[in-house]
Amino acid sequence: MSSEPGTMTVEKGYKVTEVGVIPEEWEACQLKDISDFITKGATPTTYGFDWQDEGILFLKSDCITPSGFSYGQCKFISAEAHRSMKRSVVKAGDILMSITGYIGKVAVVPEYVEEANINQHIARIRVTSSKHDSRFTYYSLLAPGQTKLLVKDCTGQAYPQLSLEQVRNVTIYAPPLPEQEKISEVLSTVDEHIGETEDLIEQTETLKKGMMQRLLTQGIGHTKFKDTEIGRIPAEWEVCTLTNIASVIMGQSPASESYNDKQKGLPFYQGNADFGEKYPTTRVWCSSPSKIVPEGSILISVRAPVGAINISDTISCIGRGLAGIKIESDITQSYIYFYLQQHRSRLAKVSQGSTFLAIGSTELKEFLLALPTYSEQRDIADILTAIDDRIGEYRAKLEALTRLKSGLMQQLLTGKTRVRV
């Protein structure tokens, strides 16, 4: 073991830096030492701000997410506007960094993007040094410790920002090129699996959306249909109100002094900010609950934005932003859960209020549903539940891969674990 004065004790062969303990042979460099192309973009003005349905990709800071590049957030501009913004052009392999607002988000322009433009909230870093691997530089900037340093250096409180000079002076620590490339290969492989899993989630969610649309309006194997006040449905189905099949419990917020984070009392949910994918997220408990819903109740957000649906997986207390639905007749709860999910837009339409929209008790109780036979309800619910389960499996895999990547970055980008080259 060896010690550096005034710092900390480290193992032989390692040294202490501002980003932590790293191998002695790793070298520090600033981004300006490895890139001749560090600049930021601009917003097109010469040809207006009219977005196109197709054309040249225009990237805003929203296109850079904490997990990387998001194509779905991109816009398009015309070729004329693109040509007027030459200094804002980026190409595949360029590193993008958000420099205003949410500081430190980093992404790489994907290989399928030949050219694009960036706005003034993004810095472009194009690695030109022959001694540095672009992907390693990207992962180094993505590391949590590096993000903290960026945030520390930013200016502005209401709207934090980094100058280009600050970006150019960012320091990274790198091993010899062969080790950089091997580390990049390992992390890129995990990224590929993450991307594949995200694609599977998106595809399965699209499948679920289509199946819900078909099954909850056409049912299974029907050939005869009828027109009703809620649209065309199978002739054998019935139309009923929610209060015909369930008890509706409107939430009421208890006294604020009864809230706690020490798990005393019942889980307390107030609105869709507490909602997860299917079950709500417990953040607060209530020691003196006012409105209680039993385990398995369907929860609906009744205040703007209305219509978010969850299931309470335990007995819980609900605030005025929610309503609980307890199925009481011979009805499949899962069917009602999926039906309400599918008809969120109708829930929104019965909302009232001038300052903000809200669904009242009467409107919710009189909400109309289409009901198949119990057997068909169960069959429909089983199909959709199976799809939900598959999405859950993919999400669990994605979480595991994300944890793996985080752990590998912590080990590989600090040299705690060395790769063979």
Distance in angstroms (rounded) separating the CA atoms of residues 251 and 402: 36
Ramachandran class of 209: left when φ > 0, alpha when ψ lies in -120 to 50, beta otherwise: alpha
Provide the b/e sequence for 340-367 (b: ≥16 CB within 10 Å): bbbbbeebeebbeeeeebbbeeebbbeb
Structural contact between residues 116 and 89, judged by C-beta atoms closer than 8 angstroms? yes
pLDDT at 5: 44
Looking up tokens 């209680």 gives: 292
Kindly list the averaged pLDDT for each block of 10 residues, start to end, along the chain of length 421: 55 81 89 90 64 80 77 79 78 89 84 85 92 94 76 69 88 93 96 93 96 96 96 96 94 88 89 81 88 92 83 91 89 93 86 70 93 96 96 96 93 90 81
What SS3 class is residue 101? coil
From the CA atom positions of the chain, what is the Rg in Å?
27
Task: Outline where DSSP puts E strands in 251-313.
Answer: 259-260, 266-269, 284-286, 292-293, 298-301, 309-311
pTM of the model: 0.82
Structure tokens at 71: 């194509």
Q: Chain centroid to CA 224: how far?
A: 42
The domain 238-371: what is its CATH number? 3.90.220.20
User: Cβ atoms within 10 A of the Cβ of 399, count?
Assistant: 11
Regarding the domain delimited by 19-174, which CATH topology (the fold level of the hierarchy) does it fall under?
Answer: Adenine-n6-DNA-methyltransferase TaqI; Chain A, domain 2 (3.90.220)
Residue 135: the pLDDT is 94
Same fold yes or no, 19-174 and 238-371: yes
Q: Please answer whether residues 197 and 398 qualify as being in contact, where contact means their C-beta atoms are separated by less than 8 angstroms.
A: yes
Break the chain into its structural domains and give their ranges.
19-174, 238-371
